[in-house]
Amino acid sequence: MGALVAYGLLFYTDDQFKSWQIMFLIFGIITIAVGICIIIFLPDNPMTSKLTHAEKVLAIERLRENRTGIESKHFKWHQFAEVFRDPQTYLIVIIVASMNISNAAVSSFTSLIIKNIGFTTKETELLNIPNGAVSIVSIVTASYCASRYDQRCLCVIASLTIGLLGGCLLAFSPKDMKAAQLAGNYLTQVIGSALPILYSLAGANAAGHTKKVTMNAILLMAFCLGNILGPLTFRTKDEPDYIPAKIALVVTVTLAIIFAFMLRFFYGWENRRRDARHEGEVHQENSEFWDLTDRENREFRYKL
């Protein structure tokens, strides 16, 4: 949608606004409107929703399987501190930050990359359309596979690997191979599909309300850090090919893949350790609804 609107605005000739200003106004107003609708119509939790009593019970009962506890308004300092003692925090943060360095760089400079391959401005905007299509299809596909096969880490790795292939095509294919360069640009859009799965991993594997909220805040900071650093890799002195930026893309995605493997190994190892240590323990009734962290709840098992 964005590429189509940008292409249409290339034909705008009035002096009252610049085309990019109209672009910001259009999508900015839509974003604000959606945000207001979310505040008005989406409930904070099942108890404040318009569900029937039976539906609220069903919604809360689903938490038994997750074992992540229920909302608590009481801030617990020991849960806050536990986030910084938990290895999964640092593994997920490194993955999110490093993958978003490349994702932000490509997203911000995708038009410049396509134009420098050898296309006109109007051709560039039209060739930007598949970027959005690739993003949508890859997010839906990766999320479906993660849910269908219950292998979130492997889906993250698969998405990043496809993005890595795209980065390699951009960085190392000959400049006269336009098709390879363009395909590389499109494949890098798959990197973003790993992000919702990583948020899902953090939500499923960080139990305890204070710990979960703190983990979400840290992930947001990691996301922002990657988005700040990414565009800085495209330097004026490296134009028009920006080879150092493209190599940085390859390196950061490779780093994210390595740490995604480490994260999956950590979860598997921790589950096996808990199975061996707590074998034969009796289940404590309704412990799923206690505000315990994943490290405090001995029955908790990490999603892979």
Residue range 195-221: mean pLDDT, rounded: 93
Last residue of a domain, one of 50, 68, 89: 50
The answer on 233 and 174 residing in a single domain is yes
The answer on 168 and 116 residing in a single domain is yes
**pLDDT tens-digit readout, 231-249:** 899 888 988 888 999 999 9
pLDDT at 201 over 90: yes
The answer on 118 and 24 residing in a single domain is no
Query: Can you say whether the dihedral through the CA atoms of 276, 281, 283, 284 is positive or negative?
Result: negative
Domain with 129, as residue range(s), is 78-267
Residue range 220-233: mean pLDDT, rounded: 93
303 occurs within a structural domain: no
CA 188, chain centre distance (Å): 14
248 occurs within a structural domain: yes
285 occurs within a structural domain: no
Q: What is the pLDDT of residue 285?
A: 63
The answer on 115 and 31 residing in a single domain is no
Q: Which residue has the tokens 């932000």?
A: 104
Cis amide linkage into residue 87, ω under 30° from 0: no
CA 303, chain centre distance (Å): 17
The answer on 16 and 91 residing in a single domain is no
pLDDT at 66 over 70: no
Phi-psi region of 282 (alpha: psi -120 to 50; beta: other; left: phi over 0): beta
233 occurs within a structural domain: yes
The answer on 38 and 94 residing in a single domain is no
The answer on 38 and 90 residing in a single domain is no
153 within 8 A of 68, measured Cβ to Cβ: no
The answer on 122 and 22 residing in a single domain is no
107 occurs within a structural domain: yes
247 occurs within a structural domain: yes
Last residue of a domain, one of 34, 50, 66: 50
Q: Lowest-confidence range among 114-118, 151-155, 157-161, 261-265?
A: 114-118
Residue 162 belongs to a domain with what CATH number? 1.20.1250.20
The answer on 241 and 184 residing in a single domain is yes
Counting the structural domains of the chain, the total is: 2
The answer on 234 and 120 residing in a single domain is yes
**pLDDT tens-digit readout, 9-41:** 888 888 888 888 898 899 999 999 999 999 998
The answer on 119 and 183 residing in a single domain is yes
The answer on 136 and 39 residing in a single domain is no
296 occurs within a structural domain: no
